[in-house]
Amino acid sequence: MKKHPIQVRTVTEDDLPAVRRLFYRCYGEDYPYKEFYNDEWLKRSIYQDSYLFLLAERDGRVQGTASVYFEVGVFSDLCGEFGRLAVDPDHRGQGVGTALMQARLDFATRRLHFGLTECRTAHPFAQRISEKFGLRPVGFLPQKVLLDQRESLVMMARAFVPARELRRNNPRVIPEAFLLGQLALENMGFQPDLIAVDDAIGYPIGRDFEVEELTEDVLPHLLRIERGRLSRRQVFGNLQLSYGLFMIESRNSRYLVAREDGMIVGAIGFTFDPIGRSIKVLELIDLRDDVAGFLLRELDQWAQKVYRAEYVEITVSAYWPDIQRTLSNLGFVPVAYCPSFVFHEVERLDTLKMAKLYVPLDIDGAQLTDASREMFELVRKGFEDKRLGIAANETARQMAIFEGLEDGELAHIAGLCRVRKVAEGEIILREGEQGDISFMVMSGFIDIYANGAKIGHVFAGDFLGEISLVSGRPYNATAVAGANVTLVQLRRADFQNLIDRHPRIGLKVMRNIAISLGEELSVLGGRYSRNVNRET
């Protein structure tokens, strides 16, 4: 018997029982997001102005459903997310998903400037059908959702004609985001035009603020601050404080508010998903850079200690490297780049999505298309580099020669460092050889020899070869690993390039080296005096 064509239309109330049965067949009884099975939630979805709820049927039987949520950004951004696409298991491979995807694209072409979707990686089906309809990978979101276990998503997007015509050129990003952004631009058919900014240190982290959660009486004060902050639009989400307290509470949104001497000076808004243990930042309101730095750090700490979150993400401007660097200093990694994502004044802006995991990285099981894998590799490398960078940063923080450096300055140094493991008995540096590398000891200990005799040890937390940072003179001793050792190594040429750009860092480090050498000479001088006194 010949099958009739698939019909796609919007969902009505009469369809809800069939839609609910479809969700059960696709997701099972144990699906954590139970609202998909709730009549009230399904009915509300039908009548939401910001939600397109589609149904595919053939011969009177519901075979699939899909949605477009077009309040992804601020309402005027004209962005839409191609959300949940569910096809009855008995009808997969029969064109149902294709028909639903085509209907969503027809809608998007008429109404939107930018469309995106987040595809599962438990299988590559959603990635393939998205690629078929012109969506391309722009990011990889590691372990973003919690289903049976934490699962990663591939972010894919497509820009429609107005978004291409209105885009602001030459975004400025930190080096960690450069390759990711260039690849996303190429994937979507834009001219790669990013400018890598390597001298952004990030915002200072304010210390003398109090923090509290938003209450109704605080709202008018924050709104007065918000009116003047639009020229500094750094963070993008689908909700703003100006929408009102009722809307904020109905979306399970929260704000941390900063006070200085009793006066409100800023706030950071976010949503918390208690089922998925995830946080998404909505907006940042601040009067000064140190307020912004304080609020971003507070969010990071509250995410870990108060909300026990496992994943946090924030979408920031691709034209503000200072906020990108601040987040990088806090351990966030670039995971997605969206060209022409938001509408601001008379043009569209690129955005950079950054994320932080509070659980071990576990993404090797992701099933990916070839195009998605290229993005995956960049993000994985970013997380691996960040893990090593954080280790180097924490080690550097304990070193006397880096005392007095700000977090951003330490992060610059940590970005130059490499972690190296050395087996027991291996020579690390040799007396008389030209000195071009210095070492920080993370674990283990090192035996020091001069003129063939052992003269001491260097332990975890100590620095080795610091004179080479500023002079390049030959090493005056030989260092041998006394056990298996983990080192952080820093090359003189890299350090010299850094202080050429940031002389203040060089001055602080050289001052600390001078103090350290002075203390060592004082100790040696005291030993010499005691020996002379004994002999006389």
Same domain, 84 and 182: no
- Cα–Cα distance for residue pair 376/365, rounded to 1 Å: 12
* CB within 8 Å of 413: residues ≥ 6 apart: 392, 393, 396, 402, 405, 490, 495, 498, 505
Q: Is pLDDT larger for residue 503 or for residue 143? A: 143
Q: Give the tokens for residue 271.
A: 């949503």
Question: pLDDT at position 241, please?
Answer: 44
Q: Is 80 contained in some domain?
A: yes
Contact 397, 351 (CB under 8 A): no
Which residues form the domain of 504?
A: 400-510
Same domain, 94 and 205: no
Q: How far is CA 369 from CA 13, 95, 140, 357, in A?
A: 37, 20, 12, 24
Question: pLDDT at position 338, please?
Answer: 95
SS3 (DSSP) at 269:
strand
Same domain, 215 and 297: yes
Residue 294's pLDDT band (boundaries 50, 70, 90)? very high
Same domain, 91 and 220: no
Same domain, 353 and 449: no
Closest CA to 258 of 295, 307, 216, 215: 295
Same domain, 378 and 406: no
Q: Does the pLDDT of residue 532 top 80, yes or no?
A: no
Domain boundary among 94, 112, 130: 112
Q: Give per-residue pLDDT as tens, 23-44.
A: 888 888 877 777 777 878 788 8
Q: What is the CATH number of the domain that holds 445?
A: 2.60.120.10
Helices (H), 228-361: 245-250, 289-305, 321-329
Residue 240's pLDDT band (boundaries 50, 70, 90)? very low
Mean pLDDT on 481-501: 85
Domain boundary among 361, 385, 409: 385
Of the given ranges (137-146, 351-360, 437-446), which has the lowest mean pLDDT? 437-446
Number of domains in the chain: 3
Q: Is 267 contained in some domain?
A: yes
Question: pLDDT at position 138, please?
Answer: 98
The residue with tokens 């904020």 is 248
Same domain, 232 and 92: no
Q: Is 37 contained in some domain?
A: yes
Q: Is 63 contained in some domain?
A: yes
Q: Are strands 445-450 and 347-357 parallel, antiparallel or unpaired?
A: unpaired
Q: Is 390 contained in some domain?
A: no
Which range has highest mean pLDDT (84-98, 182-196, 485-499)?
Answer: 182-196
- Cα–Cα distance for residue pair 112/108, rounded to 1 Å: 5
Q: Does the pLDDT of residue 220 top 60, yes or no?
A: no
Same domain, 178 and 33: no
Same domain, 318 and 365: yes
Contact 229, 242 (CB under 8 A): no
Same domain, 409 and 481: yes
Q: Is 144 contained in some domain?
A: no
- Cα–Cα distance for residue pair 240/268, rounded to 1 Å: 10
Q: Is pLDDT larger for residue 74 or for residue 166? A: 166
Q: Does the pLDDT of residue 213 top 60, yes or no?
A: yes
Mean pLDDT of the chain: 84
Same domain, 416 and 333: no
Contact 111, 77 (CB under 8 A): no
Residue 519's pLDDT band (boundaries 50, 70, 90)? low
The residue with tokens 């028909």 is 99
Question: pLDDT at position 64, please?
Answer: 93
Task: Kindly write down the DSSP assignment for every residue of 214-229, as one continuous string.
Answer: --GGGHHHHHHHHHT-
Q: Give per-residue pLDDT as tens, 359-393.
A: 999 999 999 999 999 999 999 999 988 877 777 77
Residue 510's pLDDT band (boundaries 50, 70, 90)? confident
Total residue length of the chain: 536
Secondary structure of 483-512 in HEC code, one letter for each residue = CCEEEEEEEHHHHHHHHHHCHHHHHHHHHH
- The secondary element (H helix, E strand) that includes residue 140 is strand 136-146
Residue 2's pLDDT band (boundaries 50, 70, 90)? low
Compute the CA torsion angle 228, 234, 239, 243 (nearest 10 deg): 0
Domain boundary among 43, 78, 112: 112
Residue 162's pLDDT band (boundaries 50, 70, 90)? confident
pLDDT > 70: what percent of the chain?
88
Residue 180's pLDDT band (boundaries 50, 70, 90)? very high
Question: pLDDT at position 522, please?
Answer: 54
Same domain, 265 and 370: yes
Q: Does the pLDDT of residue 80 top 90, yes or no?
A: no
Q: What is the CATH number of the domain that holds 68?
A: 3.40.630.30
Mean pLDDT on 231-240: 71
Q: Is 125 contained in some domain?
A: no
Q: Is 418 contained in some domain?
A: yes
